[in-house]
């Protein structure tokens, strides 16, 4: 009896409903028993950049950074629990930097066989737009990329929401 080889699958997780949709789509349609999943998170320090106080008070910057780091830590725990509850082997990696570059780099380091990424739905006027992060990953990845398109407002001819992934 032969056992299926282990596949390393990198999944970009940013806390959005699109990333959750991509993870769920992967689990329902692509996942194999021996897959090793690497959830890749790239923290972005929004409140620090957007705060008008940043230029005037260094203690504000410190407090905001600590708050962001706390949120990031909590989110990483959520991701770890997601793996645990799904009963799949894997790990969570959090790496700072440009999200697209981070996902491609981590996928290379982890010898990923596949990258899974979510993106928002595309309107009829912008059929070619996928999203800056997923677009970057598709153009720079050395392995196949599964882009799970979350079609929020578009329905198929049966009146159901259409949720077809794009493969590159």
21-73 pLDDT, tens digit each: 999 999 999 999 999 999 999 987 655 555 565 566 777 778 878 888 899 99
93-99 mean pLDDT: 90
Structure-token match 């957007």, residue found: 50
The model's confidence at residue 147, banded by pLDDT at 50, 70 and 90, is very high
The string of pLDDT tens digits covering residues 111-146 is 999 999 998 755 444 444 456 888 999 999 999 999
- The answer to whether 44 and 68 are in contact (CB under 8 A) is no
- The structural domains of the chain, ordered by start, are 8-167 (3.40.50.620)
- Look at the pTM and tell me if it is higher than 0.85: no
pLDDT in the model for residue 31:
96
105 three-class SS: helix
Answer whether residue 100 shows pLDDT above 80: yes
Of 126, 66, 134, the residue nearest 103 (C-alpha)? 134
How many angstroms separate the Cα of 66 from the Cα of each of 59, 80, 110?
11, 21, 29
**Residues in the chain, how many?**
168
Of 158, 149, 100, 145, the residue nearest 127 (C-alpha)? 149
């Amino acid at each position: 009896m032969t056992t299926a080889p282990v596949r390393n699958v990198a999944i970009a997780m940013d806390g959005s409903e699109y990333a959750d949709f991509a993870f769920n789509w992967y689990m329902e349609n692509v996942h194999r028993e021996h897959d090793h999943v690497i959830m890749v998170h790239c923290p972005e320090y929004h409140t620090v950049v957007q705060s008008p106080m940043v230029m005037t008070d260094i203690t504000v910057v410190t407090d905001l950074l600590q708050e962001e780091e706390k949120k990031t830590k909590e989110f990483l725990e959520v991701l770890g629990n997601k793996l645990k509850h799904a009963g799949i082997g894997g790990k969570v990696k959090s790496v700072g930097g440009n999200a697209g570059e981070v996902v491609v780099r981590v996928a290379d380091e982890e010898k990923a066989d596949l990258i899974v990424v979510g993106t928002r739905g595309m309107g009829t006027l912008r059929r070619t737009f996928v999203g800056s992060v997923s677009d970057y990953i598709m153009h720079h990845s050395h392995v196949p990329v599964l882009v799970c398109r979350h079609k929020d407002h578009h329905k198929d001819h049966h009146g159901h929401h259409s949720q077809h992934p794009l493969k590159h």
